[in-house]
Structure 1
Amino acid sequence: MFMDLDQGAGVGDPSPMVARHREYYGSLGMFEEMPRPAQPLCSGCRWEVVQGFGAGFTEVLHLGSGPNVGICGYKFDTAPEGDYRKYCSSLQFSIMLTGSFRISSLGDGRSETVRAGDVWFSAEGAEDEVRCTHPAGELISGVSVEVSRSMLDHWLGTASCKLSRTLERMVDKRLSHREFMVCGSFPRMRCLSACHPLMQVARSLLMTEHDTVCGRLMFESRALDYLSQALALDGSLPERMQEDRSQRRKAVEAAVDILDEEWGAPPTISALSRRVGVNECYLKTDFRERTGLSIGEYVRRIRMESALALIESSRCSVLQAATFVGYSNPSHFSRAFKRFHGYLPSSCLCR
């Protein structure tokens, strides 16, 4: 979805950035490059989805103040794949606003699914041959901002502070040995809520028109606002992320234990997330990765397996089994039982 945006040899020269977009979106065969007149304050190119393949656009802009910005919003009728060479010349922050896509390294085969609310960064020198797979019928939208080399050097040369130390660690090439995400990228935050300030400023950046002088000034202002908030996100450093992952694994195990004990009257997802100490988005995502099931599917499996065991043991009637596993309506229980096991509970009594 987001190409890595290179600053050209001269100020305002976006040709390497545009070349990489042409390579990637050309490989999909679903985009057409649109003519874009030269404009003051920013320059770049725009591609639109060809009619019959879906709808939407992707655009890359080089701002006069230094950053390169990528914005997109599109939907495909079929699920395409595209290959390209991923390279970052400085430091880039990307955020997924809606939808999801899968990115895979053609070198080592590792892959990662990026979802709405995910924020990640790529450090200088990160390079890989990658493949992106987009789902059909899903709106893909997001924002990507790359800091120019001159901006980064200026920031790193300022007085030492917490933010400059954070930047130093991000551009440290030793990060390339920490495999937190495929293709030379590193997650900064996962599953931000739709009301998070960074999500809000990214949405406003995506929606800002930039065909007028006032619009371009507003666009650049919001791009810098997005960049400052992305840099200021808490919990972004690798050591902190390792701790967070460990805590989240423990939270999922605690959630499994709670559901194993309380499946007859399980807590709501909101209540469960509070009890184990993680937000709902993390809990739902990590729970599925741990069990292969959603929280609701996990509870239904326990209920249906328990009901089958009760009926086959001849200790309970169908009505008693339904009541025991938490169903007050026998018809609802019978339908749920058949969906899970493939046959009605009454057929167990005849065996």
Structure 2
Amino acid sequence: MRLSQTSPAWRSVLRLSLAGTGLCALVVLAGAATRLMDAGLGCPDWPGCYGAPLVPDAERALAHSPHLPLEATKAWMEMLHRYLAAGLVIMALLLAWRGLGLRRRHDGYPWRLTLGLLVVLAVQGAFGAFTVTFKLWPQVVTLHLLGGLSVMAIFLWLHLRLRRLAFGAPAVMRPRRLTSLWRVTLLALVLQLALGGWTSSNYAGIACQGFPSCNGRWVEALDWGEGFHLTQAVGPSYLYGQLHAEARSAIQVGHRLGAAALLACLMALGWRYRGERQMRPWLALAVGTGLAQAALGVANVLLWLPLWLALLHTAGAVCLVASLALAAWRWRWPVPQVASASALSAYQNSVTSG
């Protein structure tokens, strides 16, 4: 069945969920650009900017916050990020509204996932406010990045579920459970994304010169305790970071080790399921994306973190999340190559027993 053959309501939710995935990726990139341009505190308040819905002129900004002079470029970058995030919330609300009628007429409609998306977006909005009020506290900034990528993954997963339901997948089929290797790989992905956020929020992207060693050394002069001290005080501005050089170097090395662990998991996953023809392209995409992301990370170190390359590295993280989500989806819902109802039943028994 083609999309044009589905009802208008189904076409609406499918397009909204896919557009939400793309818009969320754009929001994540806008957030990265805001951080890389040191514009996270371009507006000292939230949700407005110097008390206004649009970036005001310098005179009004000075009257609102005399101790924080306006930098218009940074302020507009921060507000653009907020406007895009607001558009994402509107899209999620429309998706829930359009799905309400479908939920009443179709068993299995992913309504809980739709509501879960709204809850995660609300939490993500709170973290956006805390990012400003806590003055770029690294814990909040890291969680804000993880939240953005989580919202994108939920939008994508919701789209895949809606597409499967809209196009009439066999009701007899049940999804396969994720194996231990899948779980370890997904955990490694989450930890590596968190390490990336921690590296960025503590301004440790170029704490190490050279690769694979760090400043010409391997283990010396790395302050792991201070670098991963998660109870930093709330209050001072964390713009440009507060940690000393040895702590930032430890964070950078930790991020590198996380990348190596994630690549090992991805390659193990590809090797383990190389015999499944349907999985090969999806796992190849995930492994290839992981390798490209590692190469971008090395290039950022060697070239001293140029803005365009750092944004590409964030885009690589977005693509890595999407590619692994697609691979996990295909694992959960393989397309059975069967020719009869009895064969489909046998296939289903093998899936549920495995």
Give the TM-score band, short-chain normalised: under 0.3
Task: Select the structure with the greater relative contact order (CA < 8 A; seq sep ≥ 6).
Answer: 2
Question: Bigger radius of gyration, 1 or 2?
Answer: 1
Indicate the structure with greater helix content: 2
TM-score (norm 2): 0.25
Indicate the structure with greater strand content: 1
TM-score (norm 1): 0.25
